[in-house]
């Protein structure tokens, strides 16, 4: 580190006092729009590049070029010139000697007690550059009915041609007549339509000779409902059962017995009178 660089960081040097005033006073009194600009960054860069006397020159005495100041401030040369002029209007920067066209000017830091930041902001607003916007699409120049112009036209008609022009439905509009349909004609299929369902016809395909047969289908008819709640049916008796001779209910086969032991139709017969007693068995 050279002696000149050590003097720059000394407590009594101009860059040191300039940096303290910029960090603790000036930036806090600047208008918000001026703080958001590139002027504070340029002032910090000037403070770091100035010598102990506050002049922006190299050790050999040559002034620091505008290109070097722009790189240190992270700005382009045009904006750097605007910021330097704004600093002069505020009273914190001055040009030593007279301005010479084609040669770099020698700038020096100034410790102003009350910088005029309003004048600096007015200069930046007066010299503000307008950014060129994006070039609009060719079809956007013609104002369309609603959403920013016409749609782009296709140059090659091989892929469908230009999109159809929509009319506003005026009375002078010439409407074309649709061709008459002859016997057996079918309407054209649009996007999403299903092919016609003709019973008994088949349509062949070119892939492996496969044929697709369209089954007749009634449009709008409801599918037949299946009633799963059928009436309960009595289970058939097992094959090793027989039926009672009176009540016809299944019973286990036993030798010499054709009725249930507790059959409701069974009547006890009195062997003396050979008549029913009227009591159930």
Let me know if residue 231 belongs to a domain. Answer: no
Nearest to 94 by CA among 106, 108, 81: 108
Let me know if residue 194 belongs to a domain. Answer: no
Q: What mean pLDDT, rounded, does the chain reach?
A: 74
Let me know if residue 174 belongs to a domain. Answer: no
Regarding predicted confidence, which is higher, 9 or 206? 9
Number of domains in the chain: 2
Selection from 51-60, 156-165, 174-183, 200-209 with the highest mean pLDDT: 51-60
Let me know if residue 168 belongs to a domain. Answer: no
Regarding predicted confidence, which is higher, 263 or 81? 81
Q: Which residues constitute the domain of residue 87?
A: 3-126
Q: Give the pTM.
A: 0.46
Instruction: Report the CATH number that the domain containing residue 8 is assigned in CATH.
Output: 1.10.10
pLDDT at 125 over 80: yes
Q: Of 107, 126, 145, which residue is a domain's last?
A: 126
Label residue 121 by pLDDT band (50, 70, 90): very high
- Per-residue pLDDT tens over the stretch 67-114: 999 999 999 999 999 999 999 999 999 999 888 788 889 999 999 999
What are 165's two structure tokens?
Answer: 């022009």
Helix (H, G, I), strand (E, B) or coil at 81: helix
pLDDT at 269 over 70: no
To which residue do tokens 């309407």 refer?
Answer: 187
pLDDT at 202 over 60: no
Whole-number CA gyration radius for the chain: 54
What are 271's two structure tokens?
Answer: 């062997």
The mean pLDDT of 108-137, rounded to a whole number, is: 86
- Tell me what percent of the residues of the chain surpass a pLDDT of 90: 37
Q: Of 126, 144, 168, which residue is a domain's last?
A: 126
């Amino acid at each position: 580190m050279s002696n000149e660089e050590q003097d720059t960081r000394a407590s009594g040097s101009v860059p040191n006092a300039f940096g303290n005033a910029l960090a603790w006073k000036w930036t806090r009194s600047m208008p918000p729009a001026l703080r958001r600009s590139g002027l504070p960054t340029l002032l910090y860069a000037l403070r770091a590049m100035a010598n102990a006397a506050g002049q922006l020159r190299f050790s050999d005495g040559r002034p620091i070029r505008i290109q070097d100041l722009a790189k240190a401030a992270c700005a382009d040369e045009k904006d750097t010139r605007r910021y330097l002029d704004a600093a002069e209007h505020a009273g914190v920067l001055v040009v030593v000697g007279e301005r010479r066209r084609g040669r770099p000017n020698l700038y020096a830091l100034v410790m102003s007690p009350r910088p005029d930041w309003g004048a600096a902001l007015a200069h930046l607003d007066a010299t503000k550059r307008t950014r060129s916007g994006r070039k609009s699409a060719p079809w956007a120049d013609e104002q369309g009915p609603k959403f920013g112009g016409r749609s782009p036209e296709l140059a090659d008609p091989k892929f469908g041609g230009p999109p159809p022009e929509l009319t506003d439905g005026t009375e002078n509009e010439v409407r074309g007549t649709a061709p008459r349909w002859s016997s057996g004609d079918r309407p054209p299929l649009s996007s999403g339509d299903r092919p016609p369902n003709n019973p008994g016809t088949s349509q062949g395909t070119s892939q492996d000779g496969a044929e697709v047969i369209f089954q007749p289908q009634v449009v709008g008819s409801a599918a037949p409902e299946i009633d799963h709640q059928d009436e309960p049916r009595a289970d058939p008796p097992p094959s090793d059962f027989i039926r009672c001779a009176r009540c016809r209910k299944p019973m286990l086969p036993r030798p010499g017995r054709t009725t249930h032991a507790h059959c409701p139709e069974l009547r006890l017969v009195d062997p003396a009178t050979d008549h029913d007693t009227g009591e159930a068995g």
